[in-house]
Amino acid sequence: MASSIQRELKELVDKVLKNLETKSLKFTRVSVRDSKQGLEVSIKIYLEQPMRFASINELIKALVDKYGIAIDDLMIYAPHSRAIKLLLTIKRR
């Protein structure tokens, strides 16, 4: 189940960001891990150039609409200068 959701998330992330950020985006990686709270998702966005905040906002809106994630449950982390990492949990229903 986690692998199908991982593929689904990767397609969504790539679709949204590749349409909005043709020059900034280098590539993305999505990992999903099962936990007691639900599925822990890590989305790494690797950049060639700075990315507009509006593009990240559109990605967050798409994730909230599709998976019902609360905005307060989403965290942003910058592990190094050329990447952004979004962390979230898709709760069990």
Q: Which domain holds residue 85?
A: 2-91
Note the pLDDT of residue 87.
94
Long-range contacts of 69-73 (CB under 8 A, 24+ apart): none
Number of compact structural domains in the chain: 1
- From the CB of residue 87, how many other CB atoms can be counted at a distance below 10 Å? 14
Which helix (DSSP H) or strand (DSSP E) does residue 65 occupy? helix 53-67
Domain at 29, CATH number: 3.30.980
Contact 47, 82 (CB under 8 A): yes
Query: Backbone dihedral region of 36: left (phi > 0), alpha (psi from -120 to 50 degrees) or beta?
Result: alpha
Note the pLDDT of residue 19.
92
Mean pLDDT by 10 residues, the chain (93 residues): 86 93 90 92 93 93 92 87 91 76
Query: pTM of the predicted model, to two decimals?
Result: 0.88
Note the pLDDT of residue 93.
67
Which helix (DSSP H) or strand (DSSP E) does residue 86 occupy? strand 83-91
Note the pLDDT of residue 3.
84
